[in-house]
Structure 1
Amino acid sequence: MYSPHRRGLLLGAAAGAAGLAILGRPSIGNAAVALQGPLKPNVYRFRLGSFEVTTILDGLAPNDGPHPTFGADQTPEAAAELATANFLPADTGVNSFTPVVVNTGTQVILFDTGNGPARRPAVGNLAASLTAAGILPESVDIVVLTHFHGDHIGGLMEGETAAFPNAAYVAGRTEYDFWTHPDRLSGPTENSAKLVQANVVPYAERMNFIEPGADIITGITAIEAFGHSPGHMAYNIESEGRRLVLTADTANHYVMSLQKPDWEVRFDMDKAKAAATRKSIFGMLAADKVPFVGYHMPFPAVGYVEPMGDGFRYVAAGYQFDL
């Protein structure tokens, strides 16, 4: 007679025997399969109205942290607690760098140029990643520099040659005037100012200097975001009713700088103003439910924020841009 119990035992015994046979079988060639290491995508592209937006991963840089880079005015224990509460290690961080390309259909606009292989060989991958994305350096029409920190201007030059030979350049007047002042060539600003002299000043005659509120082209407008650097700017990008804000370095960490916008960040040159700018810009994004792309957000660096206590919670984009 049929017995479900007996049939289950027979099937289980057969499966067990098959499993033993598989486990006992030597691998082909009697050699282990080599591990290939981590693999992370470095290009992400989506439509925004009639525009096409591509985020490009310039690289990843592990570091100690998050404290005191983030929360220098807080205790190490407070920073560790916040990291742990968000499933992050308390003593290690990873910084990512994400330039952005906007293709309007008639112009290709690159925002920031990454670290550059000469400055940071293990991270300066913009040129290779652009090629992988099908964007040739000579096809870039405009290079927009959100500010002049090294991880944003390092990729302007390929040795002694312009990395984007056919491009016009856009930068904030306040940022340029600050970094090119002779006083910056000594003291704590010396290294950055020397890089500005080498990588930015040669383009001065091809550079359009703008103020907040200026349009780069129709649909792309500069937003004042001072504090991280004296002339740091964000950009509103809008096409056919679809909107995205490029926040650059307004926030440098998706947990530390957003959930605790008042916490000091080592890289912010005017820490109080940078904190006020974070609260203002991300407050607007949260209220209007506007997506943003942040230079140091986890790749592909596109997401939203919602109010959370005295700060904001980062919500990575899902399939919104696939529709």
Structure 2
Amino acid sequence: MQPRSQPTGHMKVHFADLDLLVVTDGAEQYAPEEFAPGVPPEQVQDLLLELGISRYQFVLPSNILVLRHAGRVILFDAGNGQMNGPQAGVLPANLAMAGISTEDITDILISHMHSDHTGGLFDKAGNAVFPNARIHVSQQEYDGWMSDTLDLSKSRKPDAGALQSMQHRIRNSFAQMGSALQCFSPGTPLFECITPILAAGHTPGHCMFEISRQGQSFLHLCDIAHDEALLFAKPEWGTIFDTDFDMAAQTRRRVLSMLGQSRQPVFGYHLPWPGFGHVSRQEQGFRWMPLRIPSPQWPVML
């Protein structure tokens, strides 16, 4: 395991001919029991010791990818806003430090509707934080949360009422988006260089995004894996945040297996800052391999 590096505001990234930034929305600490539900704590601790980790805290950054292309400024997810704890919700300030105002954002690609990805869309008064942005969500994500027959019993979240409250909040968010909301079909390219890929289970229409240009590509994992230790070594352990726990575990293992074979560069929303690396196969599981910065594999300009 590499030591965690702390988010530092923003980082410029060179990829093909695209202008990319990674901007932090901060980081939040989560309770250990929110990971590997149903797995005895001593078994979790034994695995961590096998991985060489004597003390582990579930502190998850929110890494926001920003892409400028063909006159558009595109955000991948919108961060926490005021929805979560005090160490998150700093995306607008860090965008400003990078020379980007909230009015500059033309498009926001939403991987899924959890509050740490969409809480930054609206302020406490319900006003749009990014007033000129179109908000793009997969059709499956929209249809799933709007359905009266969505089966929330497949989650491992102990409080069923919290899931129902979340669905109500998500429906209200869709209503707030109004005409800014546009639904996309996974597999259909967006903006010439982005292909959304359905990776359901974490939510009904959770998507990853493949960014391709000049024969090169990398994959934005979004919430395939929330941490760089447990869910790589044991993809089936999952989190209580998975709407369909078993489907999410199957999706996670399938995606990690594919990436462990291809060694395609990836980016993770919750993986250690600045979120770039690749997946390595290891015994029955996988391992997160952070990309050293700078790297001949991925030129990065700080």
Q: TM-score, normalised by structure 1?
A: 0.81
Shift of 1:264: 2.9
Identify the structure with the greater helix proportion: 1
Name the structure 1 match of 2:130: 164
Counterpart check, 1:128 vs 2:102: no
Distance, in Å, in 1 between the alignment partners of 2:283 and 2:178 is: 44
Tell me, what secondary structure is at the counterpart of 1:83? helix
Q: Which moved more, 1:272-281 or 1:199-208?
A: 199-208
1:132-211 → structure 2 map (5 Å cutoff): 132-159=97-124, 160-181=126-147, 187-211=161-185
Residues 40/172 of structure 1: CA separation in 2 closer, same or farther (3 Å cut): closer
Distance, in Å, in 2 between the alignment partners of 1:87 and 1:129 is: 34
Shift of 1:169: 1.5
- Could you list the per-position Cα deviations for residues 165-211 of structure 1 after superposition, in whole angstroms to 9, with x for gaps in the alignment? 11111101111122234577993423322332443322142222122
Distance, in Å, in 2 between the alignment partners of 1:272 and 1:107 is: 38
Residues 118/275 of structure 1: CA separation in 2 closer, same or farther (3 Å cut): closer
Tell me, what secondary structure is at the counterpart of 1:321? coil
Counterpart check, 1:247 vs 2:237: no
- Could you list the per-position Cα deviations for residues 11-53 of structure 1 after superposition, in whole angstroms to 9, with x for gaps in the alignment? xxxxxxxxxxxxxxxxxxxxxxxxxxx9741312211111122
Structure 1 residue ranges, 4+ long, deviating more than 4 angstroms after superposition: 182-186
| Partner residue of 2:275 out of 285, 301, 308 | 301
Contact 1:154 1:199 in 2 (8 A): no
Residues 132/89 of structure 1: CA separation in 2 closer, same or farther (3 Å cut): farther
- Report the AA paired with residue 136 of structure 1: S
- Report the AA paired with residue 140 of structure 1: I
- Could you list the per-position Cα deviations for residues 92-116 of structure 1 after superposition, in whole angstroms to 9, with x for gaps in the alignment? 3212211211112521110111110
| Partner residue of 1:276 out of 244, 250, 257 | 250
Distance, in Å, in 1 between the alignment partners of 2:271 and 2:88 is: 16
Shift of 1:215: 1.4
| Partner residue of 1:218 out of 192, 202, 207 | 192
Distance, in Å, in 2 between the alignment partners of 1:89 and 1:149 is: 31
Contact 2:6 2:273 in 1 (8 A): no
Distance, in Å, in 2 between the alignment partners of 1:303 and 1:167 is: 29
Distance, in Å, in 2 between the alignment partners of 1:144 and 1:92 is: 29
Tell me, what secondary structure is at the counterpart of 1:117? coil
Distance, in Å, in 2 between the alignment partners of 1:201 and 1:119 is: 21
Contact 2:202 2:248 in 1 (8 A): yes
Residues 202/238 of structure 1: CA separation in 2 closer, same or farther (3 Å cut): same
Contact 1:255 1:314 in 2 (8 A): yes
Distance, in Å, in 2 between the alignment partners of 1:211 and 1:62 is: 33
Shift of 1:62: 2.3
Tell me, what secondary structure is at the counterpart of 1:162? coil
Distance, in Å, in 2 between the alignment partners of 1:269 and 1:214 is: 25
Shift of 1:153: 0.6
1:18-57 → structure 2 map (5 Å cutoff): 40-57=7-24
Q: How many residues align?
A: 284
Q: TM-score, normalised by structure 2?
A: 0.87
Shift of 1:90: 4.5
Distance, in Å, in 1 between the alignment partners of 2:41 and 2:213 is: 44
Shift of 1:63: 3.3
Counterpart check, 1:310 vs 2:289: no
Tell me, what secondary structure is at the counterpart of 2:298? helix
Identity of aligned residues (%): 29
Higher relative contact order (CA 8 A, sep 6+): 2
Residue ranges of structure 2 left out of the alignment (5+ in a row): 153-159
Shift of 1:80: 0.9
Name the structure 1 match of 2:298: 321
| Partner residue of 1:79 out of 44, 51, 58 | 44
Distance, in Å, in 1 between the alignment partners of 2:115 and 2:213 is: 30
Name the structure 2 match of 1:23: none
The structure with the largest alpha-carbon Rg is 1
Residue ranges of structure 1 left out of the alignment (5+ in a row): 1-37
Distance, in Å, in 1 between the alignment partners of 2:96 and 2:48 is: 36
Tell me, what secondary structure is at the counterpart of 1:265? coil
Distance, in Å, in 2 between the alignment partners of 1:88 and 1:157 is: 38
Residues 45/87 of structure 1: CA separation in 2 closer, same or farther (3 Å cut): farther
1:90-101 → structure 2 map (5 Å cutoff): 90=55, 92-101=57-66
